[in-house]
């Protein structure tokens, strides 16, 4: 199968490219490198079935040229991270809305299947759970920038479903619940890589809010497996699917686990939302997926234990981050961090 991945140099996109290539598909990755990085796909560039294109989904000509030569498009390109969205609201709206419009227009023009990546953010402040695909969306005021991401991704879903209903375009929509794994960066506010980096560098671990809010973190390997299976399954067309691991963990407990596994001396510091983001920032207290529809359609759902995923992430950063600065004379010194393999053995 000939696959086009928009946002193909991003965190999830690069892992998806690996999985598709591993099963024998041909992959073209399109990315403007605004948040993705060439290093994420550097190891794939020697594969004759892989092609990397620096370009933008906002450019209809580029998208048309690539769309004409693929069988299916995985549309992952979007503004990512709460911090980036708050800092760049206009660009985020344009990327999410116009980018998806271009992809759907060209997919319809050439009759190509589309898998659209959406987000659990579309549920907004609905803290009831587990959330199923038809659960109500509870969105805050338009004066709170935080909600523009949820709103634009919901509009993306509406567009995709409209193309399916009116034009019979084969589309599948997936809502990711906090996908994590190696190569994810904490640069745009993603909590797991941010905590891990802070712990390994001996910096304070900064929790936004009171830390009692809970999330369900999904291993990127599970996410990619579900995405590929849904793209292959005709029964998924015209439908929306949650992709997430059902195990909840509080952000406070996440910080403690990171400190324990890394043997870090980092203190935990609590920062009010308005200092971390913007005045009036709102967050959801709980976000848990119902994955019954996913299981009924493809026969499985994410299940990799979070502790296993966290250890892989820590091991990845252990090999890439610089060592923390040595303490000054007279300061308390904790035992040194173990080598990644030794650290995993110590806790496992």
Q: How many CB atoms lie within 10 A of CB 59?
A: 14
Alpha-carbon span 292 to 156, nearest angstrom: 23
Identify whether the C-beta of residue 33 lies closer than 8 Å to the C-beta of residue 82: no
For the chain, report the end-to-end CA distance as a whole number of angstroms.
40
Q: How many CB atoms lie within 10 A of CB 97?
A: 17
287 token code pair:
């976000």
187 token code pair:
């640069």
Q: How many helices (H) and strands (E) does the chain have?
A: 12, 13
- Degrees (nearest 5) of the Cα angle 105, 160, 120? 135
Q: Which residue has the tokens 């994810």?
A: 184
163 given a catalytic annotation: no
- Among 123, 149, 163, 277, the one annotated catalytic: 149
- Among candidate residues 248, 259, 181, the one with its CA nearest the CA of residue 221: 181
Q: Which residues are catalytic?
A: 149
């Amino acid at each position: 199968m000939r696959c086009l991945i928009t946002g193909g140099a991003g965190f999830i996109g690069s892992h998806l490219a690996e999985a598709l290539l591993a099963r024998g598909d041909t992959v073209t990755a399109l990315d403007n490198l605004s948040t993705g990085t060439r290093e994420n796909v550097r190891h794939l560039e020697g594969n004759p079935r892989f092609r990397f294109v620096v370009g933008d989904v906002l450019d209809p000509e580029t998208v048309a040229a690539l769309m004409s030569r693929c069988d299916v498009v995985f549309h992952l390109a979007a503004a990512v991270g709460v911090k980036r969205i708050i800092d760049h609201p206009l660009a985020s709206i344009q990327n999410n809305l116009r980018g998806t419009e271009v992809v759907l227009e060209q997919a319809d023009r050439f009759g190509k299947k589309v898998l659209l990546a959406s987000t659990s953010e579309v549920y907004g402040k609905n803290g009831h759970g587990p959330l199923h695909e038809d659960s109500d969306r509870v969105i805050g005021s338009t004066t709170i920038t935080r909600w523009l991401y949820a709103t634009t991704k919901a509009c993306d879903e509406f567009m995709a479903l409209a193309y399916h209903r009116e034009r019979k375009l084969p589309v599948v929509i997936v809502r990711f619940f906090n996908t994590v794994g190696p190569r994810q960066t904490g640069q745009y506010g993603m909590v797991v890589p941010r905590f891990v980096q802070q712990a390994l560098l001996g910096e304070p671990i900064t929790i936004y809010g009171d830390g009692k809010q809970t999330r369900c973190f999904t291993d990127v390997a599970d996410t990619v497996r579900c995405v590929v299976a849904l793209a292959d399954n005709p029964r998924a067309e015209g439908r929306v699917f949650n992709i997430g691991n059902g195990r909840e963990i509080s952000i406070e407990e996440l910080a403690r686990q990171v400190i324990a596994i890394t043997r870090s001396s980092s203190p935990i510091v609590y920062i009010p939302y308005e200092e971390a983001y913007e005045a009036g920032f709102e967050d959801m207290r709980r976000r848990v997926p119902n994955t019954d529809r996913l299981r009924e359609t493809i026969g499985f759902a994410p299940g990799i234990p979070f502790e296993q995923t966290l250890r892989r992430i820590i091991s990845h950063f252990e090999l890439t981050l610089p060592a923390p600065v040595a303490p000054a004379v007279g300061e308390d010194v904790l035992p040194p961090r173990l080598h990644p393999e030794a650290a995993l053995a110590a806790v496992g």
